[in-house]
Amino acid sequence: MSSKPILQSNNLSKTYERKIALSSLSLTVEKGELIALIGPSGTGKTTLLNILANIIPSDTGNFEVDGLPIQHYPSNRILAKKIGVIRQQFDLVGQSPVIHNVLAGRLGEWGFFKSLFSLVFPQDKDLALAALERVGLRNKVYEKTSNLSGGEQQRVALARLLVQHPEVILADEPVASLDPARAEDILSMLVKLVREEKQTLITSLHSVEYAKKYFTRIIALREGSIYFDSPSEEITDQMLLDLYHLKELE
């Protein structure tokens, strides 16, 4: 049984002033794939994720999400059921209690006011509580979010994603600001939740070790283009050496 790709991009390019950040990048992603984007700093990983998340426009090319060109999505709310974003800085409201940040995942479905209003509806509160339970934060529900540690805040962001429940999750260096133990903790939790929910995950990562351990497919970018695109188990040390080698040493 063949199904249509959840994401398909054709010839995406982006130039900042005179710097080519992305160069004619084409990519097909099937439902359920766990993809790590790796590569040296400044090779276009964030640019690609931001284009796919519809945060910035590409200069050329186009892409489809679940068979529909991105510009044909009638609203950001409908797109939010397809694509969710998780970032390094978590994007949480520090002054608000944890549960408010988790319920913000409902924005995609109901709009801002209804999301706020939904705080009084038990079934939505239950959804948020269940999400917080799954990420191990059931005891922090009413805590001010900024009082939580970096790792705990990233788990709040995961709970918010559980409530939003998009089909594709785009994560830009989701563990970069955490210490190694917390980073692995969060990454393994993210991958476990994505597998359980049968979602699709595309994450940029600096750690090749984590990319190989947790992801099924690794896409390496170099100078805005795909340098290799392989199943994790086929990645060799030589491929990585070539990818990260400084130009002047070659």
Answer yes or no: are the C-beta atoms of 86 and 156 closer than 8 Å.
no
Does the protein bind ligand ATP through residue 46 (CB under 6 A)? yes
Choose, by CB under 6 A, the member of 26, 42, 67, 138 that binds ligand ATP: 42
* φ/ψ (deg, to 5) at 151: -65, -40
Answer yes or no: are the C-beta atoms of 98 and 145 closer than 8 Å.
yes
* Shortest Å distance, C-beta 89 to ligand ATP: 13
Contact characters 16-35, ligand ATP, x per CB under 6 A: xx-x-x--------------
Q: How many CB atoms lie within 10 A of CB 198?
A: 9
Token pair listed for 125? 């509160």
Token pair listed for 168? 């594709």
- Rounded Cα distance between 219 and 234, Å, is 12
* φ/ψ (deg, to 5) at 74: -70, -25
Q: Which is nearer to ligand ATP, 73 or 228 (CB)?
A: 228
Does the protein bind ligand ATP through residue 41 (CB under 6 A)? yes
Does the protein bind ligand ATP through residue 47 (CB under 6 A)? yes
- Only segment of 44-52, 98-106, 140-148, 155-163 that touches ligand ATP (CB under 6 A): 44-52
Does the protein bind ligand ATP through residue 5 (CB under 6 A)? no
Q: Hey, is 106 helix, strand or coil?
A: helix
Does the protein bind ligand ATP through residue 180 (CB under 6 A)? no
Q: Which is nearer to ligand ATP, 49 or 65 (CB)?
A: 49
Give me the residues that bind ligand ATP (CB under 6 A), please.
16-17, 19, 21, 39, 41-47
